[in-house]
Amino acid sequence: MKNDKLKNVLLCFVSGIIGAGCFFGGMYFFPESFGKVVTETVEKTVETRNVTINDTGIAEAVDKIYDAVVVVKNYKKQELYSTGTGFVYEVDGNTAYILTNHHVIEGGSEVYVQFTDGKTIKTKVVGSDKYADIAVLSIDANDSVKIASIGSSEEVRVGDTAFAVGAPLDATTYSGTVTRGIISGKNRMVSVSLNNNNVSDWVMSVLQTDAAINSGNSGGPLSNANGEVIGITSLKLVNSGVEGMGFAIPIETAMEYAHKIMKGEKIERPYLGVSMANLSDARQEYYPRLENLGVTSGVFINSVEKGSPAEKGGLKVADVIIRADGEEVTSMAYLKYLLYEHEIGDEISLTVYRDGSEQDLLIKLTEVSSN
């Protein structure tokens, strides 16, 4: 029995020596193969570690822009009429320029801005545009004026961090409020009522964010994680079943209009020269006439101005515009959006439903002022 145990021990010992010899011999004579295995193992380990994310907050990014943000106070007959937010985006010589929304300063007679140090200054309204919802204010500059860094909305990705700085609700109590979220969507088409009457007059292409946007935030900056402005907070979706849907005008669009306003350029947009209604509304007024029309959506033409681009291009009363430049027209607001994508002198292609069939028209656009 003892001899058998001894034989087993010796057998294990010899097997171990042979195995080790084979291993090291393989490494000596075939190093590439062993090196490949080691390399692949290391690469897999590194790949696993690359998905680790560390969130250290955005305090430094907020510091970069915070003092460039102002509270905008709009007065009418020496009484506070409305409030909002704005930010210094440029200094030229002795003049500092501030961006905000048109609807923030609309209807007032005097506009003041309040800085983070509490200093309040009366501004000059350089100009504004209601469709773009952009307004430019100016003040005398000094060495203490801080300028916001301008970023790019085109480079931002859905899921990137975004934050807003503004004065929600009470312009004094809650000024300088910072809210954080992400970019929830890009190129969102949102209907806007220009007269606060719940009728969609215009469609805007905007950024969507879940950073909290409240009344008073309008005109303030939406910034990326580097503290650069990528949009101007303009509106939010209000509904009992909706939460966390705010929208911002892309900074490229805002700056395009701001520079035109600074240069004193007249902002002009093309027009058709018609009165119109959404087909759904027209059906209620002209139901017997439209009962068997054959289309379910579009824009109904009520009248055509004499000598207008519409008349010259062949539009007629009772036509229904169903497509513009090949895109489906679902409402007057969206038709205006497609129309205002054109420059003065451009031609727009319209497809209309008339007398039971579709017809294509080409209309050369002339100008009309938006102011």
Q: How many CB atoms lie within 10 A of CB 262?
A: 16
Residue at token pair 């430019």 = 136
Residue at token pair 């250290």 = 56
Active site residue 342: no
Q: Which among 67, 82, 103, 129 is annotated as catalytic?
A: 103
Give one DSSP letter per residue of 284-342, joined into a string: HHSHHHHTT-S-SSSEEEEEE-TTSHHHHHT--TT-EEEEETTEE--SHHHHHHHHTTS
Tokens of residue 178, six digits: 């910072």
Query: Which amino acid is it at 159?
Result: G
Picking from 87, 88, 96, 97, the residue whose alpha carbon sits closest to that of residue 141 is 96
Give one DSSP letter per residue of 18-75, joined into a string: HHHHHHHHHHHH-HHHHHHHHHHHHHHHHHHHTT------SHHHHHHHGGGEEEEEEE
Query: Which amino acid is it at 178?
Result: V
Tokens of residue 249, six digits: 């005008």
233 Cβ contact list (under 8 Å, min separation 6): 85, 164, 166, 213, 217, 218, 219, 220, 221, 222, 246, 247, 248
Gap between the Cα atoms of 15 and 1, Å rounded: 21
Structural contact between residues 235 and 245, judged by C-beta atoms closer than 8 angstroms: no
The secondary element (H helix, E strand) that includes residue 147 is none
Q: Which among 128, 184, 218, 234 is annotated as catalytic?
A: 218
Q: How many CB atoms lie within 10 A of CB 182?
A: 17
Q: Which among 133, 153, 175, 184 is annotated as catalytic?
A: 133
Active site residue 102: no
Active site residue 281: no
Catalytic positions, please? 103, 133, 218
